[in-house]
Structure 1
Amino acid sequence: MGFTKNRIRSIDFKISQSSIELLAHEWKEHVKIIPPYPIDKFGGKGIVYTAGGITYVSCLWISINILRESGCILPVEIWHLGNEISLDIIKYFNKLNVQFRNFKEVCNVDKPGFHLKPLAILNSQFKEILYLDADNICFNNPSELFDMEGYQRTGTTFWPDYWFTDSKNPIWEIIGSDAYHLPEQESGQILINKETCWKELNLCMHFNQLGEYYYKFLYGDKDTFKFAWSALKTVYYMIEKSPSNCGTGLNDSFNGNTMIQYDDKNAVAFLHRNLLKWDITLLHERGWEGIKSFPNDNSLKEVYLQNVNGMMTVDFGGNVIYEETSPDIKNLENKCLDYLKIWRESYTYFKFYEYIHFIHKRNLQNSTQSIEV
């Protein structure tokens, strides 16, 4: 699998016509047995994360603190698998008014992976969900996103990625669609009304459960949501403004580490720090110095993946708009670094490091019992 500079995600995997037809047949049969939406099981609005281990718990601590500082009072669920989360972490996060939920207490799952995202959304207590990756930072209070006209009309809001799926990818024939002119979905944030999109969400779960096949030509869960909706010919709302690239360096030597996603009014909504994650960020390190964006026209637009000193970064080429980050974004990064400092200086941080080392060396990740080190 590769990403070309002209923004096409290509694959070198070959699949037989009979396999394409079998996968198409299987998902159509699966749709027939999806149970109806359980009207009395879910309710209200909330935010859902999945997290575990030192990398994503570090990111989670910053993300939720910024979320609460924005004024958001929506309830938050944090889903984890087995012993990826310790009792100390649960206590440490109590002040943020969150609920930790263990996949093992609601379903039979024994390994981490992309399928945990739709699984968390399906099993969450909420009817309307803003799903956030742990390394995603809300720029403003995200509660207002539930009021977007596109979401109210369709029950779903997706955000675009930099890339487009190759027209030769077998997924198009499997789902019976030719909408390869649309951008891929970036699943670091998803807005879903489960009552409106129950069947689509369950089909997405089916694609991920068959990840041993689908992940050979898809990039994890990233587009399984959009492709499930497309397979069922269900209308969804995709934010129109393409994501910007935030990072360090000047226009001609740029290293992007964060995707900036927008709302329906083209205002900054999220900074998804998916490359330079907080667990390896230095306390004095500023990663949000400049922003590269593409104009909304048909001019040349290129995206480059770069390896800089062992770190993956992103740069834009072609017709690009470069600007220094705003004071508000700089201030937001300073707040994130302040929370990172609090986290790293806490006794809980060191205990959790010891805990994660212990359970991995003892192969206790999937134990159903809590572990005291």
Structure 2
Amino acid sequence: MPVIRRIRLRTVLSTVAALFLVVTVFKINWTPAPASVVVPNTAFEVPLPERQNVFWKAFKPILEAHSPNCPSPLHEQDVEAAHFNVTTADARPDLTFMDEPNVVEMQDAHAHFLDDIADKKKIRPVHAPGTRGIVSTAGGQYLPVFLATLRMLRRTGSELPVEVYMKDASEHEKSICEEVLPKLDARCLILADVMKKDFIEHYQLKVFAVLLSSFEEVVWMDADCFPLQKPELLLDSETFKSTGLITWPDFWETTVSPLYFRISKQEEPPMNARQATEAGAFVISKKSHLRTLLLSAYYNYYGPSHYFRLLSQGAPGEGDKETFLQAASALGEPFYAVSERVQAVGHPAPGGMSGSAMAQSDPIQDHDLVSKGLLRVVDPSVAEAPRIFFIHANYPKFNPGGNVWGTEFETAPTVRPDGTLGRAWIFPEDVVQRFGYDAEKAYWEELKFISCDPGIEFQTWVSKVETCRKVEQYWGEVFAEPHEDDFQWST
């Protein structure tokens, strides 16, 4: 027994010695990797709310220092809506009036504002360099629509983060913002947390949401405007990289007042230079176009009192829609305004079509055609139309808990002329073909999901059970089985 014990003891001691040697050699031969060089990035190190507050405290005094300081422009009537005609340069509508001293006052205020924002030391931008993402606004009846848009975005394969801004805390829905949206890489932010009592309304929200967002490159999408392709394609395109701003057209001719061009010290462009702007979607780089956004914010801040009238003269959709492109133009900053006409999409109705959405084209394909001199806006036969990139489902908002059903809304998108349930978007057929897939069915699949998923509750819905019932009934009658008004896709 003693012999066995001595042998075991020697074995144990030998093992311990070997382990000690291995550890010692490892310690001798191992040296820590050199510390990586850390380049401080203050935009990332400072929390977003702090960056937003610093920005607003600097920018608000500049806005208010250059108030128009004169009475609002006068008008006796609004312009009549006229479709854009590229072949004819009509006279610019001139239905807005100001006394000459007031024009000079606004001209001076505008010029001094531009001087202030030219000083880069005065305003520190909010965004983190190199970032990109989607920005939108939503709240109340728009929140269900936004969630459907967000789910359509993810269907494209897009991985862009999303920031959705709400006017104030009353629009913040805890379960949606803290449980539902984060799963889709989206977060809620409240403008009033930054702007306090300096409340802005409706159309004015957009530009301040973009300015206060954390992204350097922004794809803006209205809550009811969803993509059919990955928006990353836009950000990576030469069309965007070479300009820094992409906008889409409205149906109408531009109606900017001659007075605006005097105030901003620009020459009046011909009426057929380009269409009016539809701002349901746009793409902008803050790196190249921060001043454009600051000037657009100026136009919006004084929009209800002065600039909305000067930029639209009562035309359809008067509000922020013209402020982005006109700001870029006033500053001489580049932009690409999509040439391909916007298309109304709907279903046949007595006397024509019941339109409930707008279809906007791929700017990359549009730019390719324009660069080759193939101007479809002049002659549609010169080339095949670009594919559709965005659908702006705006008339009405496709809120399953709202007035999308029956004939509650004038376009009655879910009802055929004979009163039976039917598809909303089947006409014009050549435009629907450019969707590339059954986008309407996909959209309703997402609307059905948000209506019937037990984990999704919206404050504005009177009854989730009833909303789900309506959507499932509609889905069952229109999409579940082959239907006579199903669109026939070409291969």
* TM-score of the aligned structures, taking structure 2 as reference length: 0.61
Higher-Rg structure is 2
CA contact (8 A) 1:177 1:230 kept: no
Give the Å deviation of 1:113: 2.3
Report what 2:188 is aligned to.
100
Deviation, structure 1 residue 89: 1.9
1:240 is displaced (CA, Å) by: 2.1
| 1:80 pairs with 2:166 | yes
Partner of 2:334: 235
Deviation at 1:204, TM superposition (A): 0.6
Q: CA deviation at 1:66?
A: 0.5
The alpha-carbon deviation at position 4 of structure 1 amounts to: 2.7
Give 1:324 shift. Answer: 6.5
5 Å-filtered alignment, 1:131-146, equals 131-146=220-235
The number of residues matched between the two structures is 324
Partner of residue 4 from structure 1, selected from 68, 76, 81: 81
What amino acid is the match of 1:272?
H
Distance 1:327 1:41 in 2: 35
Distance (Å, rounded) in 2 between the aligned partners of 1:285 and 1:61: 23
Amino acid of the structure 2 residue aligned with 1:204: S
Greater shift, 249-258 or 337-346, is seen at 249-258
**Partner residue, 1:163:** 252
SS at match of 1:73: coil
Alignment partners' CA distance in 1, 2:145 and 2:328: 30
Corresponding residue number in structure 2 for 1:65: 151
Deviation at 1:78, TM superposition (A): 0.4
Please list the CA deviations of residues 18-65 of structure 1 after superposition, one character each: whole Å capped at 9, or x if unmatched: 3333222211111111252647842311000111112x1121011100
Q: Kindly, what percent of the aligned residue pairs are identical?
A: 24
One-letter amino acid of the counterpart of residue 89, structure 1: I
Q: How far has the Cα of 1:107 moved from its partner?
A: 2.4
Give the drift of 1:351: 4.8
In structure 2, how many angstroms separate the alpha carbons of the residues matched to 1:277 and 1:41? Answer: 31
1:324 and 1:41 map into 2 onto residues whose CA distance is: 37
1:205 aligns with 2:304: no
Displacement of 1:15:
2.9
Distance in 1 (CA, whole Å) between partners of 2:126 and 2:460 is: 40
> Is 2:457 the counterpart of 1:353?
no
Q: Is 1:221 the equivalent of 2:320?
A: yes
Name the residue aligned to 1:178: 268
Unaligned 5+ runs, structure 2: 1-77, 86-91, 313-317, 366-385, 406-413, 415-420, 463-491
1:99 is aligned with what amino acid?
R
**Alpha-carbon distance change, 339 to 39 in structure 1, aligned in 2, over 3 angstroms:** closer
Note if 1:281 corresponds to 2:401: no
Residue 121 of structure 1 pairs with residue 214 of structure 2: no
Change beyond 3 A, Cα 1:102–1:251 = same
Per residue, is there more helix in 1 or in 2?
2
Contact conserved, 1:59 with 1:134, CA < 8 A, in 2? Answer: yes
Check 1:148–1:59 CA distance in 2 against 1; reply closer, same or farther (3 A cut).
Answer: same
Residue 120 (structure 2) pairs with residue 31 (structure 1): no
Distance 1:167 1:341, change over 3 A: closer
Equivalent residues in 2 for 1:186-201, closer than 5 Å: 186-201=278-293
Cα distance, 1:6 vs. partner?
A: 4.0
**What is the DSSP-based 3-state SS (H/G/I as helix, E as strand, rest coil) of the residue aligned with 1:106?**
helix
Cα pair 2:280 2:392 within 8 Å, conserved: yes
Greater RCO structure (CA 8 Å; 6+ sep): 1
Q: Is the 8 A contact 2:84 2:275 kept in 1?
A: no
Aligned partners of 2:258 and 2:268 also within 8 Å? no
**Greater percentage in strand:** 1
Instruction: Note the C-alpha offset of 1:93.
Output: 2.1
How far 1:167 moved relative to its partner? 6.4
Cα offsets for 1:319-353 (capped at 9, x unmatched): xxx63622956621112112212222345665512
Residue among 332, 337, 352 paired with 1:253: 352
- Identify if the C-alpha distance between structure 1 residues 137 and 17 changes in structure 2 by more than 3 Å, giving closer, same or farther: same
